[in-house]
A = this chain, B = another copy of it.
Amino acid sequence: MSPTESASRQIAGELRARTSSGALGPGALLPSEPELAALHRVSRQTARSALQILEHEGLVTVLPRRGRIVRRQHRLTWNLSTFELPGSTASSSVDAWTTDISGQGYDPTGGTLDVERITPPPDVAQVLGLDPNTDTCVVRRRVRHVDGRPAVISDDYFDLRVVEGTELAEPEDTTRENVLKEAGYEQVYDVDEIIVRMPTPDETRRLDIQPGTPVAEHRRTGLTPDHRSVRLMVSVIPGDTIVLRYVIPT
């Protein structure tokens, strides 16, 4: 026999069933900790554990001093491929982020741009082929916003020798793309890597996400025809708000 489930898991399971059956729809208020404890004749801690199981599953959000509600599951789509389906309205030359978000009825404005020259962190140095001791890289840090709230962390790394003298080394908000090509570094492939993990405490703070929300770390490396990496873009994307999308011709 399977060992009986712990009380907290049983209670969590019961509530989970009520959400997936629709009895507790998105936005519905769950029982408070003392209520749930009394209902099931357990201590408040046990009831609390049950609710936290659901929080960690992403089913439930805490509204401070209001209680816990069932989460809405709506997500935005971020198109990461340059290729578009015929008939789509996207103009792929401008920043895809802006097009995507406003195309879905949201406001992509806001956020900050911060350009710095730093000694490259080890992982960046390796990708860009830099010496962490002697080389300098330019990082363009950005927090993209949606409807006025932080939505994505997006850091762009370049070798200083590549972008020196171009607008990419300056704190201007360029809509970019052929800057690198004009500097003699034609970019012909992007290699995207997507890592799924929990956020660091710092990321949780910067993105203002609920604890327990996983993120995608999206690392896009821009390659020249001779396979040199000229650009590394690292984005941190909260899983509860954004879907990544690729269109691939077969």
Chain A residues within 8 Å of B, Cβ to Cβ: 13, 16, 56-58, 75, 77, 80-83, 85, 87, 187-201, 211-212, 214-216, 222-223, 227, 237-240, 243-250
Nearest B residue to A78 by beta-carbon distance? B194
B196 contacts A196, C-beta separation under 8 Å: yes
Q: Is the CB of A81 within 8 A of B248?
A: yes
Please state if A250 and B197 are interface contacts (CB–CB under 8 Å): no
Known A-B contacts: A58-B197, A194-B244. Give 7 more (CB < 8 A). Answer: A56-B56, A57-B200, A80-B246, A83-B248, A194-B194, A195-B243, A196-B239
A245 to chain B minimum Cβ distance, whole angstroms, is: 5
CB atoms of A195 and B239 under 8 A apart: yes
- CB atoms of A198 and B58 under 8 A apart: yes
Whether the Cβ atoms of B246 and A192 lie closer than 8 Å is yes
| Interface contact A245-B191, CB-CB below 8 Å | yes
Cα–Cα, bound, A248→B189 (Å):
6
Select one of B189, B192, B194, B250 contacting A85, CB under 8 A. Answer: B189
Residues of B within 8 A of A239 (CB): 195-197, 214
A191 and B112 alpha carbons, distance in the complex (Å): 32
Contacting pair B216 A198 (CB below 8 A) = no
